[in-house]
Amino acid sequence: MKQLSMYKKYITLGVAILIAGTIQAQDTLRINFRQAVDLALAANVAYQTQANNMEVLKVQKQSALLSHLPNANVSSSFSQQSGQQFQQIEGEIVVTNVTNEVVNAGLNMSMPIFNSGRRILDTQSAKLAYEAGGKGLDRASQQVMFDVARRYLQVLLDDELVRISKENLQNQQELLRQIEGFLEAGLRTMSDKYNQQSEVARLESVLVDAELQYQNDVWDLSEYLQLEAGVIPVLESVDPRTGDLRYEGMSMPELYDIAQANRADGTQQELLVTSFKKDMQAIKAMYYPRLGAFYNYNTFFTSLDDRNLQDQLLKVYPQNTLGISLTIPIFNNFQTRLDVSRSRVAYKNQILQKESVNRKIYQDVKLAYLNYMAAVKKEGNTGIQVLAATEAQNAISERFRLGVSNFVDLATANQQLVSAQADQAQAVYTLFFQEVLMQHALGTLEVLE
């Protein structure tokens, strides 16, 4: 049994050394939480995609605003005609076989005067769509910060659990040395030594598991931050006990009102509903007559005329046309009806999307609040748990030293103390994270600039 226990001990130590060597062999990047958020925002595909889409929405808004101005186009062409050419000379039509070189130039301008408010509706819709895109980008940045916070705090918790495991292992190793001294003095039995050796080996395995979990979560954070291959982050610690319990005692209606006022995705959906409605109204304007104004300036040069290029283009052949056009839709193969039907469906689907998001906001706030209150209770309970376990372990250790208590009582007290310390660390970081989760659910999570 002794050989088996020692064999297990050597294997555990070997794995621990291997993990430690792997950690040291990697390149490290020391970062704080703000830097982690900046890296994530720069690397997150969903956030960058929405940021790119904002450029299109911005140009779309500008285009809708400029649609109130006239359209202007300049045209020019050059052509060469070979063969019979008709010319009017002294009142007679003369046909000659020559080559005629022609240069055409023109300026065309048009502007809608009345189109049932379509330009105004398009402008309002584009503005609302741009504002909705901004709200979506804000929510995406909050989501990235939330994801970073979850991974960041998990790594810090893992690091704290590793510290507790190391400290407990050192204490038990020291206890093993004391038992060996008691054994030589005849105050303890050989079974106490074997039991303590087994406990030390078990705690070495616990430490290995804690370090392995730490490494897994560190690599998960590294992957989310899109760090270079082989680079692992070394995180700056935060104090999870600094947060005040700002949401304790608040009612669910109060929290939901805060979420409705601050959730960017909820505001985004409201803006999109209004934008889609104005799109539908703008397309319906195509059912009604449209009135527009136009101006055309055209001129040309021909090689059959002996006058120079400037005189022909600017003095001889210019034509100015100014007019008003009226378009009355009668039948266009139901194309307008199809467009209106599509826009109406998009509007109705957006209303459904808005209602779905509102339900999700309520669920997010409700679940976040329940978890937050549970975390508050657990944090308080674990404080009492650690205090009681510490007192019990001190008392039993003293009784064990005096030979009044047995090893089973001491091992149980040690395990309860370590378990209480781990539970407390878990509760403290969980409460800190639940505070972040509440801010995320309420839409008040401020993205670091």
Token output for 11: 């294997």
For the chain, list residues with pLDDT below 70. 1-26, 85-95, 242-244, 448-449
Kindly state the helix (H) or strand (E) to which residue 30 belongs, with its residue range: strand 27-31
Res 88: pLDDT? 58
CB atoms within 10 A of CB 92: 7
Residue 260: HSE in the Cβ half-sphere, 13 Å Cα cutoff: 11
Output the six-digit token pair for 271. 């803006």
Domain residue limits, the chain: 2-69+115-288+332-442, 74-113+297-328
Radius of gyration of the chain (CA): 39
Strands, sheet with 92-114, edge to edge from the N-terminal-most edge strand: 71-89, 92-114, 290-302, 319-327
Question: E strand or H helix at 107, and its extent?
Answer: strand 92-114
What are the backbone angles phi and psi of residue 184, rounded to the nearest 5°?
Answer: -65, -30
**CA 318/CA 312 separation, integer angstroms:** 8
pLDDT of amino acid 323: 95
Rounded CA separation 26/21 (Å)? 9
Name residue 320's beta-bridge partners. Answer: 297
Report in angstroms the alpha-carbon separations of 341 from 278, 281, 335: 14, 11, 10
Considering the segment(s) 2-69+115-288+332-442 as one domain, its CATH architecture is Up-down Bundle (1.20)
Q: Is 272 left (phi over 0), alpha (psi -120 to 50) or beta?
A: alpha
Task: List Cα–Cα distances, 135 to 97, 123, 411, 443, in angstroms.
Answer: 70, 19, 56, 11
Residue 372 confidence (pLDDT)? 92
> Can you list the pairs that 206-212 forms with residues at least 24 positions away whose Cβ atoms lie under 8 Å?
206/165, 206/168, 206/169, 207/16, 207/162, 207/165, 207/166, 207/169, 208/12, 208/15, 208/16, 208/19, 210/158, 210/161, 210/162, 210/165, 211/16, 211/19, 211/20, 211/162, 212/19
What tokens does 90 get? 């002294």
Contacts of 79 (CB under 8 A, 6+ apart): 101, 102, 104
Locus of tokens 């008709």: 86
Residue count (the chain): 449
Q: Can you give the pTM of this predicted structure?
A: 0.80
